Amino acid sequence: MNLKVLTTIAFVLMFSFFTSSMTYAQKQTLIGLNLNSNIYPDEISLNRVNIGATFETQLGKHSGGETGIYYHSKYSTNITSYTDASGSHSYSSTVARRYLTVPVLYKYYSKRINFSVGPSFDFYLGWKQKEDRSPVQIQSFTVNPKVRIGFLTKVSRSIPVSEKFIIEPELRFGSVQTIDQANVGLGIAGKYRF
């Protein structure tokens, strides 16, 4: 499948979540803010926290859909070596690749625990060299492909704070492109019920 077909499918699925919440008798519709971070293989770090907006609609007692849009960065360190009259020199530089992630998930609801699973789309936004005091200045950086497709599974628990506000901690497992890029993460969402 080409990129245009996959992107179209993702947006049709997201649109169907929105329109189905208006078409069917629903239990609830929620919007919110989600913060999450990988704990394996990465360590939790404040500069690696992902932030995003989430939308979900529960269509039946146990079934619904969840989507959102999340901003995150992935870091890579490069070593540049050269030799001149004074000897050998090596310098490291760090590049932050920036992405928007759009998951399209089926969500199973229960009183004790919720389970979400579905595809996840990573859209590459660009890159920036981090300030690491390196004399090496990177002039260009290429990422291919520009859109990566993976999967995301989440286990969460909804904790009502009030009639309209819910806190939802979550354990996440996902990957983009290949299973060897899989990671485990923790997250917490604050959601408002309409």
Give the pLDDT confidence score for residue 13 in this predicted structure.
Answer: 57
Give the pLDDT confidence score for residue 21 in this predicted structure.
Answer: 44
pLDDT at 132 over 70: no
| Digit-coded pLDDT (tens) for 63-105 | 999 999 999 888 777 787 878 888 888 888 888 889 999 999 9
| Share above pLDDT 90 across residues of the chain, in percent, rounded to a whole number | 42
Give the pLDDT confidence score for residue 8 in this predicted structure.
Answer: 63
pTM, 2 dp: 0.76
pLDDT at 22 over 60: no
Residues 6+ away with beta carbon under 8 Å from 172: 36, 152, 153, 154, 184, 185, 186, 187
pLDDT at 118 over 60: yes
Residues 6+ away with beta carbon under 8 Å from 193: 28, 29, 30, 163, 164, 165, 166
Domains annotated for the chain, with CATH where assigned, are 3-76+99-130+143-193 (2.40.160.20)
Distances from the Cα of 132 to the Cα of 42, 47, 77, 95, 125, angstroms: 20, 14, 10, 10, 22
Mean pLDDT lowest among 10-19, 34-43, 87-96, 121-130: 10-19
Mean pLDDT of 127-143: 79
Mean pLDDT of 37-44: 68
Q: Which two tokens stand for residue 48?
A: 């690696």
